[in-house]
């Protein structure tokens, strides 16, 4: 089931959508505000591990700047 909510804030549209992408994840949401888009995904295990009384957490952040012409390692060779 795809759920999408939109609201205008500061002259730009804020859109929060879930159910369209990353359907194999435990939870995923795409947030759009103007020209900015963020995908947030969370995965979990239903069975807790024995001996661990905390939740291990890892964060992966990727910023795509190709649209602005900033390509890593790219420069003119001539």
Tens digits of per-residue pLDDT, 11-34? 999 999 999 999 999 999 999 999
Write down the domain spans for the chain: 1-43
**In the prediction, which pLDDT does 67 show?**
65
SS3 of 28, please? strand
Spatial CB neighbours of 38, under 8 Å, sequence gap ≥ 6? 30, 31, 32
Specify the pairing of strand 12-18 against strand 36-42.
unpaired
Among residues 2, 49, 38, 48, the alpha carbon closest in space to that of 23 is found at 2
pTM over 0.75: no
Per-residue pLDDT tens digits for 42-76: 988 888 888 888 877 888 887 777 666 766 665 66
């Amino acid at each position: 089931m795809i759920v999408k909510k939109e609201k205008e804030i500061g002259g730009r549209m804020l859109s929060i959508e879930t159910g369209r992408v990353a359907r194999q994840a435990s939870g995923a949401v795409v947030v759009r505000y103007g020209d900015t888009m963020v995908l947030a995904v969370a995965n979990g295990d239903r069975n807790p591990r024995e001996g661990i009384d905390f939740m291990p957490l890892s964060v992966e952040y990727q910023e795509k700047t190709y649209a602005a012409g900033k390509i890593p390692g790219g420069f003119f060779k001539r």
